[in-house]
Amino acid sequence: MPRESRTLPLLHSVRAKFLIVLAVLSLPLLIVSLIQLNNYRRDLGEQATAATRIETSAAAGALLSWLDNHPSYAKQASELSPAETEALYSQLRRSTASDSETLIAVFDAQGHLIRNRSATSAAPTSLDSSAQAERIAWTDQVARVTGIRRVEPYGWTVAIGVPVVENTSAGRSIIWLTATWAFALLASILLGIWAVGRLTKPLMKLAATASTFGEGKLQERVEVETDDEVGALAQNFNVMASHLQAKFDELQTQGAFIEEVLDGLPLGLVVLDERLIVRKANSTFAHFVNRDTASLAERGLYEAAAGLAVLSDIVEDVRRTRKPFVTYGLPLNLAARNSEAESESEASANFWDVTIWPTSERSAGRGDLILILSEVSKRVRAEKLATSAFASERTRAAELESVINQMKEGVVIISKQGRYRINPAGAQIIGRQPEEFRDGARALIEDMNFKDSAGRDLSREEHPLCRALDRREHLSGEQLEIVRGDGEKRVVAISTTPLTSEDGRPEGAVAVFRDITEEVKQHEELVAAYDRLREHDRLKSAFVSNISHELRTPLNVIIGLCQLLERDRQLPLAPLQNEAVTRMERNARSLLELVNDLLDYSRLEAGRSALHIERVDVEEAVREIVDDFEREVKDKRIELHAEVSPKLGLILTDKHKLQQVLSNLIGNAIKFTARDWGLR
């Protein structure tokens, strides 16, 4: 769009002149309307004042008549009942013929307000009886045209409040009328401004475009918006501008090519004539050869950049064939001959993209060749590193894929785009051939039909892969039942891990699962065998307990009979018989202790073993056990010494269990001790 290049004085513009004319034509209408509104408002105010005076006089006469009829209340107004007060106000309102917006207030001789509880009880804030029709504020914070009249000889006062003009419907209609008139006036002004702008806009655009066109911007055109004389003028202006621009473009064609190359390419660029003399060079090329731009002018190509001498044959070939030459990643040293030479290692580290372009016949008079250089050392090194890294990464990926494919566990890797890879072991566990798998992670999730331990199908949200992808959950060894593609049910242990990039963004998930059906079966068989073993152990314990109880009865009888034989004074036993009975009793007691041990073992297995806790003298208990082993010690000629600390005293324990432990320890010690040794 055209822009104004200079600004005319405000009063000299066409738009300002049209607006002034519009304002002059509208001013009389504005003045007449304001005068009429003011007169109407003044008439309403006078009507309110006259009505106040009339109603005040009528109310005073009605109040005087009421006081004449009720002389007892003239001095005792407090004796008025609510009904009589309401009747008084009703009589006053009938006598004044006032509307609902007019208020009446009655005061007794002492100036107290006679309140009418059935209506608004507002009253004027001032009781100046000289006020005939003045604007006074009432106690309800509303200003009214108020008339006050004192009724003699009783001294009572009546006040009439007529709403001011702005509080009446007529006053509000004036406000609405004024607002409507103002809105209409504003709309008329805006409409006039719009109409003036609509009329003058094409002329202003034409003037602005002509000014811009005069500054040399020949591409500017005027938008044709109307079909009248102004539109025809704009069309003729555009035709003239097109012809002028075409002529100007023809004049600039000869120099446009080189200027476009020099200004548009951020590369090292030099223009050479037919003698390979530098005609123009940009600052980038000067930086490449360590010179300033001014010193390159009128120098030979190989003088300006000695390293380009290796391209002399190519340059001559381009000049002869007029075919461009392009090469990428060429190692060159562009240092000028008179600059400080770089080391051979540094020179070999610089790589360049070189373009030699012959000029066309149209620009042959300005130059013969265009040489374009772009340093790509970093790119070449990066490409080499990338190639090496890519090869290394590809090798590592191949190794990883080989390892995954050789794993016995199934492996599924899902990317964030929904693509997945599954190894042969995973396909075998799922029961599908590689060509039977569908594309997309959603299809894979449907193919991996998992059930929980109760045989219920897992929903998509409960699927291990969805939990890893959507909720970023880690699973480890979760056992599920899977329905293979052939309908066979297997048990798998699956572990899932969400994949995350270095910056924490989700990258997918990986799942590792293996078939544990045989392990589960073995575990179930082991559990069943363990249950059978526990049942056998229970039967064994019951058998031992029953046998122990059955053996205790005859053993107790044998021990009792032995004791009777030893204590019989009438028929004493011979020494040999007495020794036999003693051995019989001792062996029976030993057997009874074994039976008791079996009972204790049964109680321990059943968890019903009880301790008989009592105060025990440890030294006495030890002496009894040592005395029991006296014969065995003598037979093996072993010295058995027992020492008990006198500070130990009495302890709380099960004496029988303590002696049983000591007996086992001492018996084992005697059994595994050689002859003629001592035990302590």
Confidence of residue 170 (pLDDT cuts 50, 70, 90): low
Instruction: Note the pLDDT tens digit of each residue in 300-313.
Output: 888 888 888 888 88
**Domains along the chain with CATH numbers:** 16-167 (3.30.450.20), 169-253 (no CATH), 262-375 (3.30.450.20), 407-515 (3.30.450.20), 525-606 (1.10.287.130), 614-679 (3.30.565.10)
* pLDDT > 70 fraction of the chain, expressed in percent and rounded: 75
Token code pair at residue 494: 């699956």
Average pLDDT, integer, range 353-367: 71
Cis-peptide into 358, omega within 30 deg: no
SS3 568: coil
Predicted pLDDT of residue 503: 82
Query: In whole angstroms, what is the distance from residue 557 CA to residue 307 CA?
Result: 127
What does residue 616 show for φ and ψ, rounded to 5 degrees?
A: -125, 135
Q: What is the mean pLDDT of the chain?
A: 75
Burial class (CB in 10 A: 0-12, 13-18, 19+), 294: exposed
Query: In whole angstroms, what is the distance from residue 176 CA to residue 182 CA?
Result: 10
What does residue 290 show for φ and ψ, rounded to 5 degrees?
A: 60, 45
Query: In whole angstroms, what is the distance from residue 15 CA to residue 4 CA?
Result: 15
Looking at the predicted structure, is the pLDDT value of residue 73 above 80? no
Q: Give the least confident one: 203-217, 463-477, 641-655.
A: 203-217
Q: Give the least confident one: 299-308, 587-596, 660-669.
A: 587-596
Crossing angle of the two packed helices 575-606 and 517-567, in degrees rounded to 10:
150
Instruction: Note the pLDDT tens digit of each residue in 446-480.
Output: 878 888 877 788 888 888 888 888 888 888 888 88
- Chain centroid to CA 510: 25
Q: Give the least confident one: 51-55, 353-357, 369-373, 674-678.
A: 674-678
Q: Give the least confident one: 50-64, 313-327, 466-480.
A: 50-64
Does 508 or 80 have the greater pLDDT score? 508
Instruction: Give the H or E element holding residue 491.
Output: strand 489-500
Tell me the CB-side half-sphere exposure of residue 280, using CA atoms within 13 A: 16
Confidence of residue 344 (pLDDT cuts 50, 70, 90): very low
Q: Are 441 and 469 in contact (CB under 8 A)?
A: yes
Looking at the predicted structure, is the pLDDT value of residue 187 above 80? no
Question: Token pair 């003028």 is at which residue?
Answer: 233
Q: Which long-range contacts (CB under 8 A, 24 or more apart) does 244-247 make?
A: 244/218, 245/218, 245/219
Average pLDDT, integer, range 539-557: 74
Predicted pLDDT of residue 2: 41
Query: In whole angstroms, what is the distance from residue 363 CA to residue 262 CA?
Result: 14
Q: Give the least confident one: 319-328, 593-602, 650-659, 665-674.
A: 593-602
Looking at the predicted structure, is the pLDDT value of residue 580 above 80? yes
Does 276 or 5 have the greater pLDDT score? 276
Looking at the predicted structure, is the pLDDT value of residue 609 above 70? no
Burial class (CB in 10 A: 0-12, 13-18, 19+), 60: buried
Predicted pLDDT of residue 171: 61
pTM, full prediction: 0.35
Looking at the predicted structure, is the pLDDT value of residue 242 above 60? yes
Cα distances (Å, whole numbers) of residue 442 to 5, 143, 420, 466, 567: 65, 80, 10, 9, 96
Confidence of residue 199 (pLDDT cuts 50, 70, 90): low
Query: In whole angstroms, what is the distance from residue 376 CA to residue 331 CA?
Result: 10
Instruction: Give the H or E element holding residue 281.
Output: strand 278-281
Average pLDDT, integer, range 148-157: 80
Looking at the predicted structure, is the pLDDT value of residue 647 above 50? yes
The set of residues, in sequence order, having a beta carbon less than 8 Å from that of 269 and lying 6+ positions away, is 261, 262, 281, 282, 284, 285, 370, 371, 372, 373
Average pLDDT, integer, range 217-233: 69
Token code pair at residue 211: 């000014």
Instruction: Note the pLDDT tens digit of each residue in 515-533.
Output: 888 888 888 888 888 888 8
Token code pair at residue 556: 């107790």
Predicted pLDDT of residue 290: 81
Q: Give the least confident one: 321-330, 336-345, 575-584, 644-653.
A: 336-345
Average pLDDT, integer, range 401-407: 77
Query: In whole angstroms, what is the distance from residue 414 CA to residue 405 CA?
Result: 16
Alpha-helical (H) ranges within 265-372 are 283-288, 293-296, 301-304, 312-321, 344-347
Instruction: Give the H or E element holding residue 451.
Output: strand 449-451
Q: In terms of Cα–Cα distance, which of 413, 411, 436, 435 is closest to 424? A: 411
Q: What is the DSSP string of 416-443?
A: TTS-EEE-HHHHHHHT--GGGPPSSHHH
CA angle 556, 561, 566 (to 5 degrees): 125
Looking at the predicted structure, is the pLDDT value of residue 414 above 70? yes
Looking at the predicted structure, is the pLDDT value of residue 1 above 60? no
Q: Give the least confident one: 269-273, 394-398, 665-669.
A: 394-398
Looking at the predicted structure, is the pLDDT value of residue 93 above 70? yes
Looking at the predicted structure, is the pLDDT value of residue 538 above 50? yes
Looking at the predicted structure, is the pLDDT value of residue 342 above 70? no
* pLDDT > 90 fraction of the chain, expressed in percent and rounded: 0
Average pLDDT, integer, range 577-583: 81
Predicted pLDDT of residue 628: 77
